[in-house]
């Protein structure tokens, strides 16, 4: 009863006679409760993070202790009240209050929020392929608090990159790893390890920096995303590293790459088995069109969609909030023509050669 709680910043309260609605603005969810207490608004104002439950109970003698505890537990479990067990450092609260506000919607206490922020800071993320999706993911992760990176690319910044990638005119002709590392440091990164090589020229073993990270995001598309993703996926399954297949523009749709936790979610091979089963029936008798050096169109907002969604799942993984992942066990495509997301569930295959029951 000595614990203190406060209303989350994102929660609004609407009272209509004996009905109270709590509206969570960040996630756009409302919860309605039928309550007979005549001054519920005044009661809820007392949850300010300073008064203990004992203080509130003493100020409201008509309420039973068991009723108050039940109410508080319900509101806490449903992310309406948050336990105020530690204070946020002043500088953090001043500079990152929006991130704190968002994280509170997924936590039950202020100490859990701080724990997540520290987890994100201490995480090391590898991004392979620093083009339209990879460069934007890198910057967004740095802006979200990630401080350690391994970035992989062998290209230089070109004029044709600027309409969709996170580079600028003064960086043209620089190595992408150099230009991007400078940006990441400017956004608060403390460590950026640069690998100026093609993925196929990197020896993926115990001594490789890509074996000592908390998350790998593959956005390399030479010779294809499928080709590079298979290499990374095998490596990650071997070292049990969570990984994300970075999506990208594909004809008239944006493919939102899947999030994979080794031996917990559908793996890269599970998706391949699923897609092969579809293609076998749908593409029977269709001949493949061969084109040398085919160049597809690309558009910054579409690349941004794939990058932002990959970044959101990255933060959830690094935070330990796996239950909120949106791209695990799913194949997602965004249609440019209809502005709709098409979702298909792809479950982990029990006989998968990579992650099946015999290999878990």
Q: Read off the tokens for 310.
A: 């990959």
Tell which wins on pLDDT, 253 or 75: 75
pLDDT-derived band at 246 (thresholds 50, 70, 90) equals: confident
Supply the angle between the helices 225-239 and 268-282 in degrees, to the nearest 10: 140
The structural domains of the chain, ordered by start, are 4-87 (3.90.930.60), 123-345 (3.40.50.720)
Residue whose pair of structure tokens reads 């330990």 in the numeric block:
320
- Tell me the mean pLDDT in the region 347-352: 92
Local structure of 173: helix, strand or coil:
coil
pLDDT-derived band at 280 (thresholds 50, 70, 90) equals: low
Chain segment 108-154, per-residue pLDDT in tens: 999 999 999 999 999 999 999 999 999 999 999 999 999 999 999 99
Distance (Å, whole) CA 223 – CA 29: 44
The number of beta carbons lying within 10 Å of the beta carbon of residue 288 is 6
Chain segment 202-212, per-residue pLDDT in tens: 999 999 999 99
pLDDT of residue 206: 95
Chain segment 64-92, per-residue pLDDT in tens: 889 899 999 999 999 999 999 999 999 99
Of all residues in the chain, the percent with pLDDT exceeding 90 is 67
Distance (Å, whole) CA 85 – CA 49: 8
pLDDT of residue 319: 95
- Tell me the mean pLDDT in the region 22-40: 82
pLDDT at position 33 over 60: yes
Distance (Å, whole) CA 228 – CA 219: 8
Tell which wins on pLDDT, 282 or 133: 133
Distance (Å, whole) CA 337 – CA 219: 24
Chain segment 154-199, per-residue pLDDT in tens: 999 999 999 999 999 999 999 999 999 999 999 999 999 999 999 9
Tell which wins on pLDDT, 358 or 348: 348
Local structure of 192: helix, strand or coil:
strand
Largest CA distance in the chain: 80
Contact 262, 242 (CB under 8 A): yes
pLDDT at position 348 over 90: yes
6, containing H or E segment:
strand 4-7
**Which residues, in sequence order, are bridge partners of residue 7?**
81
pLDDT at position 297 over 70: no
Query: How is 48-77 classified by DSSP, letter by letter?
Result: EEEEEHHHHHHH-TTS-HHHHHHHHHHHHH
CA R_g for the chain = 24
pLDDT of residue 38: 60
pLDDT at position 27 over 90: no
pLDDT of residue 131: 93
Contact 185, 150 (CB under 8 A): no
Residue whose pair of structure tokens reads 């939102």 in the numeric block:
256
pLDDT of residue 19: 84
Local structure of 34: helix, strand or coil:
strand
**Best CA proximity match to 242, nearest among 145, 326, 317:** 317
Backbone angles phi, psi at 67, to 5 degrees: -65, -45
- Tell me the mean pLDDT in the region 26-34: 87
Contact 111, 103 (CB under 8 A): no
């Amino acid at each position: 009863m000595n614990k203190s709680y406060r209303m989350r910043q994102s929660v609004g309260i609407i009272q209509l006679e004996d009905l109270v609605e709590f509206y969570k603005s960040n996630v756009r969810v409302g919860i309605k409760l039928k309550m007979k207490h005549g001054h519920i608004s005044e009661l809820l104002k007392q949850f300010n993070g300073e008064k203990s439950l004992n203080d509130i109970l003493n100020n409201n003698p008509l309420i039973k202790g068991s009723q108050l505890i039940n109410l508080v537990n319900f509101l806490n479990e449903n992310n309406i009240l948050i336990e105020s067990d530690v204070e946020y450092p002043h500088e953090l609260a001043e500079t990152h209050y929006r991130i704190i506000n968002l994280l509170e919607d997924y936590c039950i206490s202020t100490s859990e929020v701080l724990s997540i922020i520290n987890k994100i800071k201490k995480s090391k993320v590898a991004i392979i392929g620093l083009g339209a999706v990879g460069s934007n993911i890198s910057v967004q992760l740095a802006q979200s608090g990630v401080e350690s990176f391994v970035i992989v690319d062998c290209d230089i910044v070109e004029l044709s990159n600027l309409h969709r990638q996170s580079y600028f005119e003064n960086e043209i002709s620089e190595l992408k790893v150099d230009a991007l590392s400078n940006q990441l440091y400017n956004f608060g990164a403390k460590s950026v390890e640069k690998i100026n090589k093609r993925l196929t020229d990197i020896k993926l073993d115990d001594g490789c920096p890509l074996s000592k990270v908390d998350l790998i995001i593959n956005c390399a598309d030479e010779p294809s995303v499928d080709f590079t993703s298979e290499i990374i996926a095998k490596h990650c399954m071997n070292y049990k590293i969570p990984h994300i297949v970075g999506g990208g523009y594909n004809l008239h749709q944006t493919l939102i790459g899947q999030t994979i936790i080794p031996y917990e979610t559908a793996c890269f091979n599970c998706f391949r088995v699923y897609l092969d089963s579809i293609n076998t029936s749908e593409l029977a008798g269709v001949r493949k069109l061969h084109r040398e050096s085919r160049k597809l169109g690309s558009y910054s907002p579409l690349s941004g969609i794939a990058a932002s969604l990959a970044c959101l799942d990255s933060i959830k993984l690094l935070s330990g909030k796996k239950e909120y992942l949106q791209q695990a066990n799913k194949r997602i495509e965004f249609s440019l023509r209809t502005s709709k997301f098409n979702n298909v569930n792809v479950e982990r295959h029990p006989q998968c050669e990579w992650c099946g029951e015999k290999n878990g």
